[in-house]
Structure 1
Amino acid sequence: MTEIVEGKPIHIGARELVPVVRVETSTRRRAFVGSDGLAGQGWSFVHMRPIAILERSEAGEHRIPIQDRTAQALGGLLLAALIIPLLLSVAVRLARGK
């Protein structure tokens, strides 16, 4: 389940800053009924990611997005890791004349 949650407002002078977070949760529960009794188990996963800051003032509300530069850089590195070996194999085949 994914939901967008606004955090506790921070007051700075006449402005109010409100963090906005995307919360992803996943939960699993199981119960076992047998001749020797009952048993149960479960797990839960929560991932919180900041996505924006809301700036509220007398002039109105302004949303400032938060970009994950690390994820963007890792995506670029993954793309390079997939493309460079393909280009090198094509270059080697062309150089060998096959």
Structure 2
Amino acid sequence: MTRRCSGDQDSVVPLLGSRTLVRELAHTMGLHVTVPYSNWFRKGQVGGWVTEYGNFLTFATVRGASHMVPFAQPDRALGLFRSIVSGQRLPNTTNPPID
């Protein structure tokens, strides 16, 4: 699986350009959207947004991150990295505790 990520506040490589590039790449490769643009969560908060194309290509953003994602949002970057290394999807639900 190939993954690409971007900070949603990146002024060096703007999010819209990255998202468009990945979408066009998926189209060229004949991949279809399997998970539409939706949010992913980290510790009960929106960590960013993600789109998956088949089981091959994923594009994820990290909320509140600039060009250097691990520096700007280290915890969210770690969650994204763990997901990539373990080969799992980014969490797309929260499980808030019921008091």
TM-score band by shorter chain is: under 0.3
Whichever of the two has the greater Rg, that structure is 1
Q: TM-score, normalised by structure 2?
A: 0.21
Of structures 1 and 2, the one with the larger relative CO (CA 8 A, separation 6+) is 2
Q: TM-score, normalised by structure 1?
A: 0.22
**Which structure shows the bigger proportion of residues in strand conformation?**
1
